[in-house]
Chains A and B, each alone.
Chain A
Amino acid sequence: MSQETTLTYSKVNEDIIRMLDKPSVKWLALFVPSLGLVGFGLFCFLYQVYTGLGVAGYRHPVFWAVYITNFVFWVGIAHSGTLISAILFLFRARFRMSIYRIAEAMTVFAVLTAGLFPIIHLGRAWNFYWLFPYPNQRELWINFKSPLIWDVFAVGTYLTVSAIFFFVGMIPDIAAIRDRVKEVPRKIIYTILSLGWKGSNWEWLHYTRAYLFFAAFATPLVLSVHSVVSWDFAMANLPGWHTTIFAPYFVAGAIFSGLGLVITLTVPIRKIFHLEDYITLDNFEGMAKLIILTSSIVTYAYVVEFLLAWYSGSPAEWGQYRFRATGDYALFYWIMIFCNSAVPLLLWFKKIRRDITVLFIISIFINIGMWFERFNIIVISLSHGFEPGAWGIYKPTWVEMGITVGSFAWFFMFFLIFVKTLPAVSISEMKEILPVPRKEAQAQ
């Protein structure tokens, strides 16, 4: 935020609370189609439940495919939200202030979306609760040595903690909305949600402390979650999966993909709600620089994977990587390399980092590239294992694609509801970065 800003405290309140006014036609034009696509996704899921898992394209040897790809993709998307809200908070990076609420909302909704996929992937979805440890008649307990159970704990904790972080961060802002709105139903809802917040020195004292602890918890948590997700693969003895670089590789990829989606979401919001004074070019440049960093780490991992496979001397391992680059799925592999390693190189130019349109286009490439990265890791590895006689090709079906499209719509539906009901830019933190009003300054 530059010092010559024209924003004042009451203008911040006014501008941000104005976003919650009656939905415009543009908003409805986005909301109604997403609702329709959610409906289509739901139809596909019900069709799969009714008919059986055969309608998904699973065939030997590929029994983890698009659903697990989506799971890993959405968990990954969530990560940059926590990076922006918690890690950059601990580092006191000021460019996070105006975008972190959007990023945090994205985290919560992305984990919410991700959590659906292991259940969709189950043949008998109604038995999903078998994953939780609960006393039962058979006196059986879950196997805590299984990475899939670690996943349940990691993703469950992540959803809970990021939802708390998201809500607590909003309490002072909800109080500000409560004090401004007049119409009865809204006033009552915001009054209840604000928990009677007044902004007294005691409240702020405990609040700032608690917020620091949430950030301190969220930081190692976010690193653990995607490490655990990567171990779903790395713990298995399959060429292409069984490697020690998976945890850092996945975490960097997660943050990379999430930053891409933050930009994809922020650009239209900034334009539709005229938030140019709040979400500045500096904010975008900060994110673009982080993309350069994470893209480099991901690219490095792509190279190291090949080196490890070659150096291991294992024909199955080396064969797997040659298959990735030149086999049946080579197109997907090169799409991934192009989107994740080549396109982000453009961001080395300052001019491009500060050009919103180009950034938006690059962010879409990143989203596509990262989705394919997950697909490549999961599907290509499974289709080309140790035993040549057991190799096989998997193709997604319309049911799987329908559910995938539905999941994107589900995410956007929540996000669109969010921008119309809750403050999408933090009111109190925006005030922290504005110049403090002083009587002395006024007198001069």
Chain B
Amino acid sequence: MKPDQGVIGIFSYVDSTVETIKSLKKAGFRNLRVYSPFPNHEIEEVLDQPESIVRFFTLAGAILGAICGFTFTVLTSLDWPLSVSAKPIVSIPPYIIIVFELTVLFGALATLLGLLVNSRLRRNTPRGVYDPRFSEDKFGVVVACFKHNIPKVEEILKGSGAEEIKFEGI
């Protein structure tokens, strides 16, 4: 069964946000989401997230770009061979430049795709639990839990200094 209830605590301070996450984790609540107006290392550390998989998108894009750049230049040269002064038809050094540019181009496009897909930046409006102040100066901790756990979560949030607590169905 999946958790059916979201409890949001809103904080002004980074240290109280970090404390809250620690106590929630200690109490066994692992399904947390944290909102912040900017990336913060303390919060990142205490959440202990896995490494982002965007890097695999980047690598795949870059390799694909290099292969495309190489095969494209070589195959088009062979498609209509123009022999000039017995110079090589397929001349690798100048093609390296095209290979490099396409590596960067495909790599960057794949990184963008990886970012959009993994961050789920597909909808235009922020869905679910959100507060506009999270883009300004407040930090938010969202706990996904079952109904019977709400009082416990509320107690932890209040205890560590949440300024406001809101409830929403998930």
Contact = CB atoms under 8 A, between A and B. Distances in A.
B121 A157 contact: no
A202 B16 CA distance: 20
Given A191-B125, A217-B108, A157 B35 contact: no
Interface string B22-45: 000000000001111111101110
A227 to B, nearest CB: 9
Contact of B104 (A175, A191, A220, A431): A220
B77 A141 contact: yes
Contact of A213 (B15, B91, B111): B111
A139 B79 contact: yes
A195 B116 contact: yes
B101 interface: yes
**B interface bracket (residues with beta carbon within 8 Å of A):** 35 or more
Contact of A144 (B12, B98, B121, B130): B98
Contacts of A271: none
Contact of B94 (A150, A191, A214): A150
Interface string B98-138: 10111011011101101110111111111100101111110
Contacts of A153: 97-98, 101-102
A407 to B, nearest CB: 25
Interface stretch (A278-286, A386-394, A432-440): A432-440
Contacts of A9: 37, 136-137
A443 to B, nearest CB: 10
A161 B126 CA distance: 27
A206 B114 contact: yes
A144 B107 contact: no
A394 B1 CA distance: 80
A214 B107 CA distance: 9
A198 B134 CA distance: 8
Given A141-B77, A437-B14, A206 B115 contact: yes
A207 B125 contact: no
Contacts, number: 196
A442 B94 CA distance: 61
B105 to A, nearest CB: 4
Contacts of A191: 124-125
B57 to A, nearest CB: 9
B52 A209 contact: yes
B112 to A, nearest CB: 5
A213 B42 CA distance: 22
Interface in A412-430: 428-429
A217 B59 CA distance: 11
B126 A133 contact: no
A221 B97 CA distance: 11
A150 B119 CA distance: 35
A154 B101 contact: yes
Given A157-B101, A171-B121, A179 B135 contact: yes
Nearest to A438: B15
Given A206-B118, A206-B119, A437-B13, A196 B108 contact: no
B73 interface: yes
A206 B118 CA distance: 7
A144 B101 contact: no
Contact of B44 (A142, A199, A201, A210): A201
Interface string A187-210: 000011011111111111111111
B108 A438 contact: no
A210 B35 contact: no
Contacts of A207: 39, 115, 119
Contact of B39 (A13, A175, A221, A432): A432
A240 interface: no
A10 B133 CA distance: 9
A140 interface: yes
A145 interface: yes
A224 B49 contact: no
A429 B38 contact: yes
A161 B105 contact: yes
A87 B142 CA distance: 36
A179 B109 CA distance: 28
Point out which of A142, A204, A210, A214 has the most chain B C-beta atoms below 10 A from its C-beta: A210
A216 to B, nearest CB: 9
B39 A145 contact: no
Contacts of B118: 202, 206
A224 to B, nearest CB: 6
A163 to B, nearest CB: 10
Contact of B97 (A179, A224, A428, A431): A224
Contact of A208 (B37, B39, B120): B39
A439 B161 CA distance: 9
A168 interface: yes
Interface string B54-68: 110010000000000
15 contacts: A13-B136, A153-B101, A164-B112, A176-B136, A195-B116, A196-B121, A196-B123, A200-B35, A201-B36, A204-B44, A210-B54, A214-B111, A228-B97, A437-B137, A442-B13
Interface of B: 12-16, 33-40, 42-44, 47, 49, 51-52, 54-55, 58, 72-73, 76-77, 79-80, 91, 94-95, 97-98, 100-102, 104-105, 107-109, 111-112, 114-116, 118-127, 130, 132-137, 161
Interface of A: 8-10, 13, 133, 139-142, 144-145, 149-150, 153-154, 156-157, 160-161, 164-165, 168, 171-172, 175-176, 178-180, 191-192, 194-210, 213-214, 217, 220-221, 224, 228, 428-429, 431-432, 436-440, 442
Name the 4 nearest CB pairs between A and B, nearest first. A9-B137, A179-B132, A141-B76, A209-B52
